[in-house]
Structure 1
Amino acid sequence: MNTQSSTQGAVKERLAAVRQVMQQEGVSALLVPSADPHLSEYLPGYWQGREWLSGFHGSVGTLIVTADFAGLWVDSRYWEQAEKELAGSSIDLMKLQPGKPGALDWLAEQTPEAGVVAVDGEVMALASARQLEERLQARNARLLTTRDLLGQVWLERPSLPQSPVYQHLPPEATVSRSEKLEQLRAVMRERNADWHFIATLDDIAWLFNLRGSDVSYNPVFVAFALISTSQATLYVAPGKLDAALRQVLEADGIAVRDYADIHRGLSEVPAGSNLLLDPARVTRGLIDSLPGDVRWVEGLNPTTLAKSKKSTEDLLHIRNAMEQDGAALCEFFAWLEAAQGRETITELTIDEQLSAARARRPGFVSLSFSTIAAFNANGAMPHYRATEASHSRIEGNGLLLIDSGGQYLGGTTDITRMVPVGTPSLEQKQDCTRVLKGVIALSAARFPRGILSPMLDAIARAPIWAGHVDYGHGTGHGVGYFMNVHEGPQVIAYQALAAPQTAMQAGMITSIEPGTYRPGHWGVRIENLVFNREAGRSEFGDFLEFETLTLCPIDTRCLLPELLSAQELGWLNGYHQQVRERLSPLLSGAALQWLHERTAALSI
């Protein structure tokens, strides 16, 4: 039996076991989100129940199981991958599209009268639970959040991660945890909150200047935090903090309790207190532990906005990390160019060589996400990942898409570049040039301070739309400071809600990554990280502009220069001049020669 058939068989057995438990419990539908109690993007194995039950390995997706139906909702980034992985599993691929019903909409419409929808409340956001519960009540149905049905059949469930926690120290940690706690408490006082509960791992790691490795690629650790105007408690599993670190935290007024004690800790919040929480970033199961007479002050976690605005001191370290990352990329690309045609290269080789180049750089800690090396048709899947069982050799003619990034003590990187293999076709070059025009259009834009970030999306899309082309994913996401590669609150995507918290502020770092995907043929994406900086003031208010942080040549062999305007050509040549000047001191030999060749000025 081949691997795919074996997986399909396992999925069918698991679905049958789940349906048996659902029947015993009187449950009409089981909702399995891709989530943990911290609503993380990347999940420790203990909470990867949706992947275990469905056999789909993408990082995002929502599974619904009923007695006679199973469906997985995913957005366009995962359609091709999901179609392959769900084939023969009896699970339907449900394509998420703007304006069309999602998983919760389906449940609200399809749950029978007086039916019961079950979900593990520990992993469902409070805001989502409220929304679904209200719609189910309209059908005289109800939401059950107190039972983990999946846990009853998942007998070989992985254990919780046990990696040690360590400090993020100066000089890279530019603000002490005591100062951050005081700033947080100042916001709590402004909002008339006595207590604040934080479940999101990046907020906790940033606030306490601590890091870990419990989640792949994100330097965070599994924990909760409960903070009052006079005390702070960190809930983390025993053994993850050594005695010396516990003493350091205690000296800063931070108590440490067992991770499993969080329900008790929430139940002990004093009666009549005002507790600040973000309903989109805490789960229903946790909040149910609060005493009924605790008043909720709902709003964005103050740390979410605070950590998104990098300081001038942070930026010094970030620029250095970008230089080290750019130098690693130059060494890798010089190797790749020399090796093509001389040795066997696969998508897996790309990952190995690029990861090794980054690991040689000072301050490197880990990758910031799983490297995407996708040749030709594989590039049409935005979140493709090569495996030992399925990958391509880099040979013949076409385009190689490489999306990668690193975690450094002084910053987080994320970059996508296109590499020509053999002779790319005219159509491939047209797509690359059109995507670059989108990158340049947004990179060169000026905009009012406070503009809601989803509104900027059309600037990057306009040159692509002009060719009757579009792409399904967002154009940009926020990026952390030695933290999660995907960080809010800003996001450049028309699909996102233009909420007040998405307002662009000075100091934010965001990706710009438009693309074009032709299923079965090739995919194109070019990505840089940019920094929001002051651009001056007029009678119309304060304006911001982008400083491009990423430093690596954009391979002009993939382009049709005659399709670039004089302004676009000037931007590209200016960018390449900056890349050459800043990376040359860090390189020598073949890598330096490659840098100079790939940053040569273009003319029409």
Structure 2
Amino acid sequence: MFQSFQDTASPEQGPPRLAALRTEMVREGLAGFLIPRADAHQGEYVAPHDERLSWATGFTGSAGFCAALANIAGVFVDGRYRTQVKRQVDLAHFTPVNWPEVQLGDWLNDQLSDGGTVGYDAWLHTPEEIEKLVKTCSANGIRFAAVNNLIDHVWPDQPAPPQGHISPYPTELAGEPHGQKRARLAQGLKKEGHGAAIITLPDSIAWLLNIRGSDIPRNPVPHCFAILRDDGHVALFVDPAKVDDALRAHLGPEVNLRPTQAFLPALHSITGIARLDPKTAPMAVRHALDEANIAFEHGEDPCLIPKATKTRAEISATSEAHLRDGAAMVEFLTWFDVQPPGSLTEIDMAKRLESFRRDTNALLDISFDTIAGTGANGAVMHYRVTETSNSTLEDGQLIVVDSGGQYIDGTTDITRTLPIGQPGDEERRAFTRVLKGMIAISRARFPKGLAGRDLDALARYPLWLAGQDFNHGTGHGVGVYLCVHEGPQRISRVSHVPLKPGMILSNEPGYYREGAFGIRIENLIVVQEAELFDGADDREMYDFLTLTYVPIDRRLILPAMMDAGEIDWLNRYHITCRDKIGPRVSDAARLWLDAATKPL
């Protein structure tokens, strides 16, 4: 099994660890210390070595941070984790804070009315983060100081940094040799007057050089740093233990391999103006440039948009991966439907789903730990089942199954909400509203230049009419055998990035009633140029191509709540599911598929 069900949250360990941290704060003369869930590469998912937030607090979510002061320790979480955090931290010692509604700088101003110095690890925070804090807090006498990481001082059995092997990624799947990518981006640097770009995001480097790594569970990226020069040459800073002759041959003479510890000294030798992304680079890089008097300008990581706009080869490859994964899902749903209520647990569901993906003989990893939450657990948006929390699927409940696979040709992410026995009318009404929002995004047609914020309301409107909503974005970007959460593209009310053809996104509205049930429906979609209509304006229009083909459970749908266009979309979607997936599954699954895709 790729997935473990061990309960890694240790709320009882939080108080003594917090006390040890506060002892270090006193020794360093600090009024506070910041503990982000981050590593030197600012990735969402981190290696065990960098799980400082969960070690210190017990909170295991994939986003959040703690601000530990002398008399209070705030754990900042967004809407996805507000139920989870209350289960995982000792509430007598840690205080959950609703973020981003409450900003860290404002909170520090309230808590440190007499001022003081707050310490932070410069490798774990970006210039944008620190500059915002300084601007917000300086008038109140609060200072911020880069210090050695205090958690590392008090974590006696901290795991070692990862040393995962790095391998070439096939050019035929990437759609472009890394030499062409480097040359193309180098031309962009020249146009901007930049002599080099400092790249610190692992998935950016993996995309740029057509390589994949194994330093992070579920995410095939390598921990490394890179400097791309305006002539297309790259200096790659990586632990030599991760490199073999095959990788050296793949990279060629224009990629200079150097050890990780040479990264900061190499910044001193940059000629021309360096480009630094203030949203993704660690503050330690900014400090090194300042100390060496190297001229730099803030600018976006040059890989972000090219990586997000997939090539035709990438879209073709990931389409095949999604069909393969869809067949595994249909086999799983066929198995699930003959299991009586009360006979399965959440762990049974996660294990069996992974086994069907393994049966493809193509699964390299799961793309994230499977979310299989029944009843009240389904209302925990990023619920991770453990041996402690494992619940039985009881008659009348719903179960949210959010999962995905990592294949050499693509990364998948799909959510289906399933009834256990006979679903209730309230659950069916909420499910149908969520489905209407998901269909609205699927059918969206929009002008060039619009961003995710312009589409987000389409998914929420049916819920808003009932006074309901969900506390997460409608969709995130997805890579191709890279990270399942990929920026900068999103469907979210805070996303300003214009959507472009080739961008892959999730489409996953939901509804969650704490203590009762959860609902989420998710497909992956890709932006494409829309077909021209007779009589349409002379303007460029985009729409979405669906990548995910797995039936949506008809037993949870109230057709009377849907209009004719929505029903037509669903019926056509189900016909396509049958046509694309039917030839790939067993006879039993084909019979199930025929029944599951009957028209409403």
TM-score for the superposition, normalised by structure 2: 0.95
Sort the Cα spacing of 1:190 and 1:363 in 2 relative to 1 into closer, same or farther, 3 A: farther
Which region of structure 1 is more displaced relative to structure 2, 371-380 or 7-16?
7-16
Distance in 1 (alpha carbons) for counterparts of 2:149 and 2:459: 43
Say if 1:111 and 1:117, in contact at 8 Å, map to a contact too.
Answer: no
Say if 1:27 and 1:117, in contact at 8 Å, map to a contact too.
Answer: yes
For 2:406, give the aligned amino acid. Q
Q: Report deviation, 1:404.
A: 0.5
Say if 1:8 and 1:89, in contact at 8 Å, map to a contact too.
Answer: no
Deviation by residue 1:77-103 (Cα, 9 ceiling, x = unmatched): 111111111135511111225xx3222
Say if 1:368 and 1:413, in contact at 8 Å, map to a contact too.
Answer: yes
Q: Match of 1:237?
A: 239
Q: Where do 1:46-65 residues align within 5 Å?
A: 46-65=49-68
Residue correspondences, number: 590
Q: Report deviation, 1:113.
A: 4.0
- 2:551 pairs with 1:553: yes
Q: Report deviation, 1:59.
A: 1.3
- 2:485 pairs with 1:486: yes
Once superposed, what is the RMSD of the aligned Cα atoms?
1.8
Secondary structure at 1:562 match in 2: helix
Sort the Cα spacing of 1:6 and 1:133 in 2 relative to 1 into closer, same or farther, 3 A: closer
Distance in 1 (alpha carbons) for counterparts of 2:166 and 2:105: 36
Q: Report deviation, 1:411.
A: 1.3
- 2:32 pairs with 1:29: yes
- 2:572 pairs with 1:574: yes
For 2:381, give the aligned amino acid. P
Distance in 1 (alpha carbons) for counterparts of 2:148 and 2:111: 21
Secondary structure at 1:384 match in 2: coil
Q: Match of 2:307?
A: 307
- 2:504 pairs with 1:503: no
Distance in 2 (alpha carbons) for counterparts of 1:4 and 1:284: 33
Q: Report deviation, 1:539.
A: 4.1
For 1:401, give the aligned amino acid. V
For 1:391, give the aligned amino acid. N
- 2:523 pairs with 1:521: no
Q: Where do 1:174-193 residues align within 5 Å?
A: 174-193=175-194
Q: Report deviation, 1:6.
A: 10
For 1:31, give the aligned amino acid. L
Distance in 2 (alpha carbons) for counterparts of 1:598 and 1:586: 16
Secondary structure at 2:174 match in 1: coil
Deviation by residue 1:286-311 (Cα, 9 ceiling, x = unmatched): 22112543222222212110011112
Sort the Cα spacing of 1:141 and 1:598 in 2 relative to 1 into closer, same or farther, 3 A: same
For 2:155, give the aligned amino acid. W
- The ranges of structure 1 where at least 4 consecutive aligned residues each deviate by more than 3 angstroms after the TM superposition are 3-9, 536-540
Q: Match of 1:13?
A: 16
Q: Where do 1:306-385 residues align within 5 Å?
A: 306-341=306-341, 344-385=343-384
Distance in 1 (alpha carbons) for counterparts of 2:417 and 2:376: 14
Distance in 2 (alpha carbons) for counterparts of 1:376 and 1:176: 48
Secondary structure at 1:32 match in 2: strand
Q: Report deviation, 1:9.
A: 4.0
For 1:436, give the aligned amino acid. L
Secondary structure at 1:489 match in 2: strand
Say if 1:363 and 1:410, in contact at 8 Å, map to a contact too.
Answer: no
Say if 1:42 and 1:59, in contact at 8 Å, map to a contact too.
Answer: yes
Q: Where do 1:400-479 residues align within 5 Å?
A: 400-479=399-478
Q: Report deviation, 1:513.
A: 0.7
Secondary structure at 2:123 match in 1: helix
Q: Match of 1:169?
A: 170
Distance in 2 (alpha carbons) for counterparts of 1:269 and 1:105: 38
Distance in 1 (alpha carbons) for counterparts of 2:318 and 2:194: 34
Q: Match of 2:249?
A: 247
Say if 2:331 and 2:586, in contact at 8 Å, map to a contact too.
Answer: no
Is there any run of 5+ residues in structure 2 with no aligned partner, and where? 1-5
Deviation by residue 1:256-309 (Cα, 9 ceiling, x = unmatched): 111222111223324xx2011210010111221125432222222121100111
Sort the Cα spacing of 1:529 and 1:5 in 2 relative to 1 into closer, same or farther, 3 A: closer
Say if 1:324 and 1:362, in contact at 8 Å, map to a contact too.
Answer: no
Distance in 2 (alpha carbons) for counterparts of 1:558 and 1:9: 40
For 1:49, give the aligned amino acid. R
Distance in 2 (alpha carbons) for counterparts of 1:578 and 1:49: 46
Deviation by residue 1:4-23 (Cα, 9 ceiling, x = unmatched): 99934421111111111111
Distance in 2 (alpha carbons) for counterparts of 1:190 and 1:450: 23
Distance in 2 (alpha carbons) for counterparts of 1:552 and 1:592: 12
For 1:392, give the aligned amino acid. S
Deviation by residue 1:342-397 (Cα, 9 ceiling, x = unmatched): x8311111111111111222542211111000111110110011101211112322
Q: Report deviation, 1:247.
A: 3.2
Deviation by residue 1:174-233 (Cα, 9 ceiling, x = unmatched): 211111111110111111110110000110111111111211111101111112123211
Secondary structure at 1:180 match in 2: helix
Q: Report deviation, 1:339.
A: 2.7
Say if 1:505 and 1:532, in contact at 8 Å, map to a contact too.
Answer: yes
- 2:281 pairs with 1:287: no
- 2:199 pairs with 1:201: no
Secondary structure at 1:288 match in 2: helix
Q: Report deviation, 1:147.
A: 2.6
Distance in 2 (alpha carbons) for counterparts of 1:540 and 1:160: 55
For 2:566, give the aligned amino acid. E
Distance in 1 (alpha carbons) for counterparts of 2:260 and 2:135: 31
Say if 1:399 and 1:420, in contact at 8 Å, map to a contact too.
Answer: yes
Distance in 1 (alpha carbons) for counterparts of 2:421 and 2:11: 38
Q: Match of 1:136?
A: 137
Deviation by residue 1:28-71 (Cα, 9 ceiling, x = unmatched): 11111111111000011111111111111111111011111111
Identity %: 36
Q: Match of 2:146?
A: 145
Distance in 2 (alpha carbons) for counterparts of 1:7 and 1:44: 18
Which region of structure 1 is more displaced relative to structure 2, 62-71 or 360-369?
360-369
Secondary structure at 2:502 match in 1: coil
For 2:504, give the aligned amino acid. I
Distance in 2 (alpha carbons) for counterparts of 1:74 and 1:141: 23
Distance in 1 (alpha carbons) for counterparts of 2:336 and 2:242: 40
Secondary structure at 1:485 match in 2: coil
Q: Match of 2:507?
A: 512
Distance in 2 (alpha carbons) for counterparts of 1:572 and 1:6: 40
Distance in 2 (alpha carbons) for counterparts of 1:311 and 1:247: 24
Distance in 2 (alpha carbons) for counterparts of 1:433 and 1:9: 41
TM-score for the superposition, normalised by structure 1: 0.95
Say if 1:506 and 1:544, in contact at 8 Å, map to a contact too.
Answer: yes
For 1:135, give the aligned amino acid. T
Say if 1:211 and 1:219, in contact at 8 Å, map to a contact too.
Answer: yes
Distance in 2 (alpha carbons) for counterparts of 1:105 and 1:166: 45
Secondary structure at 1:302 match in 2: coil
Distance in 2 (alpha carbons) for counterparts of 1:9 and 1:584: 50
Deviation by residue 1:433-459 (Cα, 9 ceiling, x = unmatched): 110000011111111111121121011
Distance in 1 (alpha carbons) for counterparts of 2:38 and 2:8: 27
Distance in 1 (alpha carbons) for counterparts of 2:287 and 2:91: 39
Say if 1:11 and 1:89, in contact at 8 Å, map to a contact too.
Answer: no
Q: Match of 2:385?
A: 386
Say if 2:104 and 2:133, in contact at 8 Å, map to a contact too.
Answer: no
Distance in 2 (alpha carbons) for counterparts of 1:261 and 1:247: 22
Sort the Cα spacing of 1:10 and 1:455 in 2 relative to 1 into closer, same or farther, 3 A: same
Distance in 1 (alpha carbons) for counterparts of 2:105 and 2:596: 49
Distance in 2 (alpha carbons) for counterparts of 1:345 and 1:174: 43
Tell me which of 84, 89, 97 is aligned to 1:86. 89
Distance in 1 (alpha carbons) for counterparts of 2:569 and 2:90: 46
Sort the Cα spacing of 1:517 and 1:144 in 2 relative to 1 into closer, same or farther, 3 A: same
